[in-house]
Amino acid sequence: MLCSIFSSCRKDREELITPVPEEQSPDEVKAGNNPYSWSNVQQALKNLQQKSPNGRTSNMPCPTCGPSHYYVRFKPADIDRLIDLEEAGYDLWDEPLTETDIASAGRSSATQSEDIPWLYTAVPVGMALPSHIQTEVLDQLFLWDEDAGDENDPEDPWEPEPDPCHFYDPSCGCYVTCRRAYRENAILKSMKALKEANINPLALYNEAMRISGNEGEMVDPAEAQAQRTGRRYNPAGTVMIDETALGVQVPLRGVKVKARRWFKMDNTYTNAAGGFSISKGFRQKAAVLVKFKNARASVRGIIGTFRAWEYVQVLKHKLGTYTREGMQNISFNFSYSPDAGSRPAAHWVAGTYFNSMWDAHDFSAVNQIAAPPAGLNVWVSSAVTAEASAPMARRVLETSALSAFIDLFLVGTGHPELAAIKRILQRLAPDITCRYGSQTANTRGYNELYDTFTHELGHAMHYSRVGNNYWAAYAGYIVANGGYGNKTTNGSGRIAVSEAWGFYVGNTMTANNYETTSANLLRFHTDFLEFQFPGDTEWWEWIVYGMFHDMTDNGEPPNTGVIDNVNTYTPNQLFSGLRENVTTVRGYQQEVLNGNNNQQAAQVDQLVTSYRY
């Protein structure tokens, strides 16, 4: 999304700038240059004009062509400015986008921070650039789709934003939604100009490559269908992840896979089998990476080997640079690392979350219950946060409550960058958190994390049902009591019901996940729900997770003290009782009966009573 927060949302606080670099003369084009540089493309256009049997007489063979993008790099002076860039929607890369600039990445004479590096991207011409962040325009570009034909007719380059944009406004300590806007697709605009000038996009591509010293990237026009015959290569393959409980590799599902060569970029997402295929074809090579982000969630990590500014960025891993046929047969596995403070461990944990999230959305769909909301901010840490939580803080907590919540979940860590971490979490407020290790313990296993993540995603489903006010009270109780509190604590009924649903979802989903592969894990998670012994002292006695399970199963083990004659409820019917007015176990009982025609009313009452309510 490229809804500029600077042009649409912050005119009252920032001056807009549109820097234009000095135009390079076509005579200065040299081998090895960026083929997409406007100066290089200008020369290529003139060369095509001279070669054309119907040679034009105008000085400019494409009168409406002009720079489509700026090739820029940003140097945020601090974490707040880095977050501004992240939230603006720029597709940021921490390495230059051209080979020549890799060698001269430090050419700016401006003072550079030792921590946050230059970040590179291509910005459409006309899009405002941030005046409060050091910005250097490296080149003007002309980007187009050399593979496009009549089937991709660029008549209307205007398109709506796919989603409403939003950004964090420090003046109110909250997130502000930008106005919905239309923007011009710069590449489609370039294509329209070429079409109007009767210029073949592939011919222009070949000439631009030739005169920039990249002859190896040229495509024989006689083999223009090269994608189908192997002359163009579409990055494709499979991404897997270690499943430690079973000792096997399983598909990594729903992660973004990005491919890039110069300014030619494309992305897709892995499917249920971990497979992916990038639609754009690349001639010689492409860099491919996995980013732990999709429309449902972004995962960031607070890891011992990271620097503070790296916490801001969504976790990602470069799979490698692949050439020709190698692009079409990529196979990568995210391996388990016991070292919780390592980058491989963070990436593996993020992958485990994505698999858990995929299954959680399937669980919601199969049972026709509300799915977790889109766009979750998920934070994983090796040792900083509390074990796990679902505060949905980006959505529901005011500034003071968010600060208190972060303090609760960062207490006692002694992390040397604690202040910076707190500032980042305040700006990129967590919806779900998970600590997957400690300073002395190994990274937790796949089944443990799967159970934890699905528990928290169960809370996210509940949030989708009850909304902000209910969840603010839930999170506020957790903060005020440093956790669950006691059965007698004022407001504990909300916890007894909310946490019961989380435990029910987490353990039910984990049991289902191992139903055909591990009898031990199936039994462990089923027994956790089945063998609850109700009481009034410890949380595992008074949070009624076993009651939710008892409403869906048949029978009860001996000696638990539970009277379970309820056996007709489904997960959908359980979920129907989770309403915004439910703050006690008896209140939940009434709502679930109201919503299901008093189904087994006497047996439900008997069951709730046996859970000591």
Tell me what pLDDT residue 159 has.
46
**Position 450 in a domain:** yes
In the chain, the percentage of residues whose pLDDT exceeds 70 is 81
Instruction: Based on the fold, state whether residues 321 and 206 are members of the same structural domain.
Output: no
Give residue for tokens 């945020």.
76
Tell me what pLDDT residue 339 has.
92
Q: How confident is the model at residue 223 (pLDDT cuts 50, 70, 90)?
A: low
What DSSP state is assigned to residue 580? Answer: T
Among 349, 287, 281, CA closest to 315: 349
Tell me what pLDDT residue 111 has.
38
Q: Where is average pLDDT lowest: 21-30, 207-216, 482-491, 516-525?
A: 21-30
pLDDT of 2 above 50? no
- Residue 421's contacts (CB-CB under 8 Å, 6 or more residues apart) are 302, 308, 311, 384, 410, 415
Q: What is the mean pLDDT of the chain?
A: 84
Gap between the Cα atoms of 562 and 550, Å rounded: 9
- Summarised one tens digit per residue, pLDDT across range 71-125 is 999 999 999 999 998 888 788 888 899 865 544 444 443 334 457 899 999 999 9
Q: How confident is the model at residue 411 (pLDDT cuts 50, 70, 90)?
A: low
Q: Where is average pLDDT lowest: 176-185, 391-400, 440-449, 536-545?
A: 176-185
Instruction: Based on the fold, state whether residues 70 and 164 are members of the same structural domain.
Output: yes
Instruction: Based on the fold, state whether residues 154 and 285 are members of the same structural domain.
Output: no
**Residue range 142-166: mean pLDDT, rounded:** 57
* 128 or 344: which leads in pLDDT: 344
Gap between the Cα atoms of 47 and 210, Å rounded: 11
Instruction: Based on the fold, state whether residues 270 and 209 are members of the same structural domain.
Output: no
Q: Where is average pLDDT lowest: 95-99, 286-290, 298-302?
A: 95-99
Instruction: Based on the fold, state whether residues 183 and 242 are members of the same structural domain.
Output: no
Q: Which two tokens stand for residue 312?
A: 């801001």
Q: How far apart are the first and last CA of the chain?
A: 50
**Position 342 in a domain:** yes
Q: Which two tokens stand for residue 434?
A: 């998970």
Q: Which domain holds residue 172?
A: 5-216
Instruction: Based on the fold, state whether residues 530 and 396 are members of the same structural domain.
Output: no
Q: Do you know the residue count of the chain?
A: 613
Beta-strand pair 248-251/158-160: unpaired
pLDDT of 149 above 90? no
Gap between the Cα atoms of 291 and 306, Å rounded: 16
pTM, two decimal places: 0.85
Instruction: Based on the fold, state whether residues 372 and 508 are members of the same structural domain.
Output: no
Q: For residue 269, what are the β-bridge partners?
A: 256
Among 180, 186, 2, CA closest to 87: 2
Gap between the Cα atoms of 312 and 301, Å rounded: 8
- Summarised one tens digit per residue, pLDDT across range 489-544 is 999 999 999 999 999 999 999 999 999 999 999 999 999 999 999 999 999 999 99
3-state helix, strand, coil in the chain (%, to 5): 40, 15, 45
Q: Are 38 and 142 in contact (CB under 8 A)?
A: yes
Tell me what pLDDT residue 228 has.
41
Q: How confident is the model at residue 333 (pLDDT cuts 50, 70, 90)?
A: very high
Among 427, 417, 430, CA closest to 307: 417
In Å, how far are 71, 117, 120 from 96, measured between CA atoms? Answer: 10, 11, 6
**Residue range 324-338: mean pLDDT, rounded:** 95
Tell me what pLDDT residue 163 has.
47
**Position 225 in a domain:** no
* 372 or 113: which leads in pLDDT: 372
Instruction: Based on the fold, state whether residues 202 and 284 are members of the same structural domain.
Output: no
Q: 191, 216, 241 — which closes off a domain?
A: 216
In Å, how far are 493, 538, 544, 600 from 612, measured between CA atoms? Answer: 12, 13, 10, 19
**Position 267 in a domain:** yes
**Residue range 216-238: mean pLDDT, rounded:** 70
**Position 419 in a domain:** yes
Tell me what pLDDT residue 5 has.
24
pLDDT of 52 above 90? no
pLDDT of 441 above 80? no
Instruction: Based on the fold, state whether residues 416 and 491 are members of the same structural domain.
Output: no
In the chain, the percentage of residues whose pLDDT exceeds 90 is 58
Gap between the Cα atoms of 307 and 189, Å rounded: 40
Instruction: Based on the fold, state whether residues 212 and 237 are members of the same structural domain.
Output: no
**Position 471 in a domain:** no
**Residue range 425-433: mean pLDDT, rounded:** 91
Q: Which two tokens stand for residue 404?
A: 């208190």
E strands of 420-511, at which residues?
432-435
Tell me what pLDDT residue 154 has.
45
Q: 186, 216, 246 — which closes off a domain?
A: 216
**Position 425 in a domain:** yes
Tell me what pLDDT residue 172 has.
53
Q: Which helix (H) or strand (E) holds 141?
A: strand 134-141
Q: 398, 428, 462 — which closes off a domain?
A: 462
Task: Provide the domain count of the chain.
Answer: 3
Among 356, 426, 360, 415, CA closest to 391: 426
Gap between the Cα atoms of 282 and 322, Å rounded: 10
**Position 224 in a domain:** no
Q: What backbone torsions phi and psi does residue 568 show, to the nearest 5 degrees? A: -115, 5
Q: Are 190 and 409 in contact (CB under 8 A)?
A: no
Q: Where is average pLDDT lowest: 1-15, 163-177, 435-449?
A: 1-15
- Summarised one tens digit per residue, pLDDT across range 569-611 is 999 999 999 999 999 999 999 999 999 999 999 999 999 999 9
Instruction: Based on the fold, state whether residues 248 and 205 are members of the same structural domain.
Output: no
Q: Which helix (H) or strand (E) holds 69?
A: strand 69-75
Beta-strand pair 432-435/388-389: antiparallel
Instruction: Based on the fold, state whether residues 387 and 457 are members of the same structural domain.
Output: yes
